[in-house]
Amino acid sequence: MSQPVAPPSSTSSVTGIDPQTLAQILDVCGMVAREVQKVFIGPAELPEILLTALLARGHALLEGVPGVAKTTLCKGFSRALGCSFKRIQFTPDLLPSDITGTYILDMRDNKFVLREGPIFAHIVLGDEINRAPAKTQSALLEAMQESQVTIEGETRPLGPPFMVLATQNPVEHEGTYPLPEAQVDRFLVKVAVRYPTPEDERRMLLTYNRPRAEVRAILSPEDIIRLGQLADQVHVEDELFDYILSLTQYTRKHRRVYLGASPRAGLALLQASKARALTKGRDYVLPDDVKLLAPYVLSHRIMMTPEAELEGVLADAVVNEALERVSYKRAR
Ligand SMILES: Nc1ncnc2c1ncn2[C@@H]1O[C@H](COP(=O)(O)OP(=O)(O)OP(=O)(O)O)[C@@H](O)[C@H]1O
Ligand SMILES: [Mg+2]
Look at residue 108 and tell me if it is in a domain. yes
Task: Say if residues 293 and 272 touch (Cβ distance below 8 Å).
Answer: yes
Query: Burial, 75: exposed, middle or buried (Cβ in 10 Å; 0-12, 13-18, 19+)?
Result: buried
Which protein residue's CA is at the shortest distance from atom 24 of ligand 1?
A: 66
- For ligand 1, pick from 68, 75, 197 the residue to mutate: most ligand atoms within 8 Å of CB: 68
Is residue 11 one of the residues assigned to a domain?
no
pLDDT < 70 stretches in the chain? 1-13, 172-175, 331-332
Residue 4 falls inside a structural domain: no
My answer on whether 111 and 191 are in the same domain is: yes
Q: Would you state the torsion angle of the CA atoms of residues 1, 6, 288, 221, taken in this order, to the nearest 10 degrees?
A: 90
pLDDT given for residue 310 in this prediction: 86
Ligand 1 in contact with 178 (CB < 6 A)?
no
Check if 302 has its Cβ closer than 6 Å to any atom of ligand 1: no
Q: What is the CATH number of the domain that holds 308?
A: 1.10.8.80
Taken in order 191, 195, 199, 203, is the CA torsion positive or negative? positive
CB atoms inside a 10 Å sphere around CB 28? 16
Q: Are residues 241 and 214 in the same domain?
A: no
**Rounded-to-integer distance, Cα 143 and Cα 149, Å:** 6
Question: Contact at 8 Å (CB) between 102 and 140?
Answer: no
**What range does the domain containing 315 cover?**
234-332
CATH number at residue 180: 3.40.50.300
Phi-psi group of 281: left, alpha or beta (phi > 0 → left; psi -120 to 50 → alpha; rest → beta):
left
- Cα–Cα separations (whole angstroms), residue 314 to 119, 179, 258: 33, 17, 12
Give the pLDDT score at 252. 95
The pLDDT of residue 123: 96
Residue bearing the CA closest to ligand 1, atom 7: 69
pLDDT in tens, 127-178: 999 888 888 998 899 899 999 998 888 889 998 999 999 998 877 666 677 7
Same domain membership, residue 104 and residue 181? yes
Q: What does DSSP assign to residue 139? A: H
**Residue 21 belongs to some domain of the structure:** no
Buried b / exposed e along 263-302 (16+ C-beta atoms within 10 A):
eebbebbbbbbbbbbbbbbbbbbbbbbbbbbbbbbbbbbb
Do the beta carbons of residue 118 and residue 87 sit within 8 Å? yes
Domain end call among 196, 221, 246: 221
pTM value > 0.85: yes
Q: Given phi > 0 = left and psi -120 to 50 = alpha, else beta, which region is 56? A: alpha
pLDDT at 179: 80
Q: How far is the CA of 189 from the centre of ligand 2 (A)?
A: 18
Q: Is residue 302 part of a domain?
A: yes
Residue 229 domain flag? no
Q: Are residues 214 and 238 in the same domain?
A: no
- Give the domain-ending residue among 193, 221, 249: 221
State the pLDDT at residue 99: 94
Distance, in Å, from the CA atom of 225 to the CA atom of 302, rounded to the nearest integer, reads 30
| Count of domains forming the chain | 2
Determine which residue's CA is closest to atom 23 belonging to ligand 1.
67
Longest dimension (CA), the chain: 73
- Residue nearest ligand 1's atom 27 by CA: 66
Q: At what angle do helices 238-253 and 287-298 cross, to 10 degrees?
A: 30
Do 241 and 186 share a structural domain?
no
CA of 318 to the centre of ligand 1 (A): 30
Q: Whose CA is nearest to atom 11 of ligand 1?
A: 69
Q: Where among 169, 191, 221 does a domain terminate?
A: 221
Express each pLDDT in 205-250 by its tens digit: 888 777 777 899 999 999 999 999 999 999 999 999 999 999 999 9
- The ligand with the least distance to the CA atom of 197 is 1
* Amino acid symbol at 296: Y
